[in-house]
Amino acid sequence: MDFEQEIARRRTFGIISHPDAGKTTLTEKLLLFGGAIQEAGAVKNNKIKKSATSDFMEIERQRGISVATSVLAFLYNDKKINILDTPGHKDFAEDTFRTLTAVDSVIVVIDVAKGVEEQTEKLVEVCRMRSIPMIVFINKLDREGKDAFDLLDEVEQKLGLSVTPLSFPIGMGYDFKGIYNIYEKNINLFSGNSKQNIEETIAFDDIESTELEGIIGENSAQELRDNLELATGVYPEFDKEAYLEGAQQPVFFGSALNNFGVRELLDCFVDIAPSPRPKKAEERLVASNEKDFSGFVFKIHANMDPKHRDRLAFIKIVSGTFERNKPYLHVRLDKKLKFSSPNAFFAEKKEIVDISYPGDIVGLHDTGNFKIGDTLTSGEKLSYTGIPSFSPEHFRYINNADPMKAKQLYKGIDQLMDEGVAQLFTLELNGRKIIGTVGALQYEVIQYRLEHEYGAKCSYENFPAHKACWVEPMEENEEFKEFKRVKQKFLAKDKRGQLVFLADSAFSLQMTQQKYPTVRLRFTSEPT
Ligand code: G4P
């Protein structure tokens, strides 16, 4: 297989959803189709529990899991599928946002009864801003839920998408009879209770045929014909180009748990989903079929064994091939590095590979060279853009609780921040350090890891901030000077040295924006 064919057969994507909508179940069914796992439950048992507690062993166990399930790769119809895991737990949302910079498309899972939920809105917004192609899967059709048209409406309204159904349910919940597959133009009947097995369905091609009445009953047959007529009247025809540009989102219905509608989703996905897309670097747009290698770090994971301080940096390959033992330029450090044991990921294991292609993820052992967002190339000075930090939700001062271990503490904080566990802000006024996180859970993780991996102790103190707002660089005019003088106590620098305003409440943020209209504040560290 040549280079172009290798690229064309790769599908690198993420599944996003609000917790409990069925992301893990769907992932597992996709892996079963790919023959990557033999039994249901293999992924499920590895799931990061939503009720992550302050039990440290639990946190450690879960960190281990998140390495194991970071990338799940398998072959299906000769396509190489890479699923990038996106933690559903809200406290790990930032990890998910970063992973979304490494996917070429996404599948959005929505619960038929709950409809669009909060976490889905946030994640879809990020994908929409980046024009990532999205397919929507409405799950749990075996349960009572919302009317299909109402749901399609809700997806359009709340998520700001332009949908078109590619399948349509026949009944729902107790009366769920099956799905008409608009994309393949056939009917699959739900035989119920197929549960963990690969789907058992009856294919049926002609919707106008009177045989339909015999199988799903007169009322259902009429209802389906009416619904399809309405759907084709209201929604535009599927347009692959529009989907690829992020301007149209096809919708499938099904039940992941019962393995119903999953094969249809997968078949359509491998058919229409994009192979690795070009990526914007600060300098230029880089096409995946360029011969020279380039890639970027989107995730860093510390070694689970505290005796070995090395970490695993996850690189998404954007262009060219990545080869074992070949020197590559670490652009930020302006240094050539060689990797003797790059890891590739398969369903649940990782192994050393000699060559990887655009769309693939390689895991590189790292002793502290990498930060999230770093670029590696064959030699060209490129920097991939678009791994922003989002405003944390929680803020606390971090204090050194063991004066003898200051050095260890700062080293530990530095490395944990490189991994993207949390964000560090240094107050302009007095140099005190503030840790900002998306969820409260991270504080315990940081404290625990500082102690166990770096031998340092820390304590926290509340810092009353509501949001971190990055101040766009601007000229030193009177307004800017006054803003800096008045807000002195709330100004800090982030790790990259960018100025950040830590607003103490939504109200004060609003007042500040009104009072200093030319000072531009952003909720992400760089434009998304
Ligand atoms: P998540 O990763 O998005 O958080 O969701 P997950 O797959 O864990 O699914 C959440 C719950 O929804 C699970 O039940 C799962 O079995 C159930 N589920 C997933 N797909 C379907 C479906 O198509 N129909 C129905 N009826 N349920 C579905 P649980 O009780 O939390 O876990 P479990 O004890 O069943 O494993």
- By CB neighbour count within 10 A (0-12 exposed, 13-18 middle, 19+ buried), where does 493 fall? middle
Q: Which residue's alpha carbon is at the smallest distance from atom 30 of ligand 1?
A: 20
- By CB neighbour count within 10 A (0-12 exposed, 13-18 middle, 19+ buried), where does 34 fall? buried
Task: Compute, in degrees rounded to 10, the torsion defined by CA atoms 371, 375, 381, 386.
Answer: -100
Hey, what are 304's tokens? Answer: 């689970």
Closest CA to 490 of 408, 437, 425: 425
Looking up tokens 């002793």, which residue turns up? 367
Hey, what are 220's tokens? Answer: 């259902």
Angle at 269 between CA 268 and CA 273, to 5 degrees: 125
User: What residues in the chain have per-residue pLDDT under 50?
Assistant: 48-54, 194-200, 528
What pLDDT does residue 196 have?
Answer: 42
The CA distances from residue 438 to 385, 425, 466, 491, 499, in Å, are 22, 14, 12, 20, 20
Q: What are phi and psi of 195, to 5 degrees?
A: 35, -110
Q: What are the structural domains of the chain?
A: 13-70+86-91+104-274 (3.40.50.300), 280-377 (3.40.50.300), 394-522 (3.30.70.3280)
CA distance 498 to 495: 7
What pLDDT does residue 153 have?
Answer: 97
| Ligand 1 pocket, mutate which of 46, 199, 257 (most atoms under 8 A from CB) | 257
Q: For the chain, first and last CA: distance in Å?
A: 36
What pLDDT does residue 44 have?
Answer: 58
What pLDDT does residue 45 have?
Answer: 57
Q: What is the pTM of this model?
A: 0.85
Which DSSP symbol is given to 522?
E
What pLDDT does residue 94 have?
Answer: 77
Name 40's Cβ contacts closer than 8 Å, sequence gap at least 6.
28, 29, 32, 196
Pocket of ligand 1 (CB under 6 A): 17, 19-25, 44, 88, 139-140, 142-143, 255-258
Distance of CA 157 to the CA centre of its chain: 22
ipTM, two decimals, is: 0.97
CA 89 to ligand 1 center in whole angstroms? 15
CA 284 to ligand 1 center in whole angstroms? 43
Looking up tokens 């766009």, which residue turns up? 472
CA distance 87 to 99: 9
Q: Which residue's alpha carbon is at the smallest distance from atom 36 of ligand 1?
A: 44
Amino acid, single-letter form, for residue 276: P
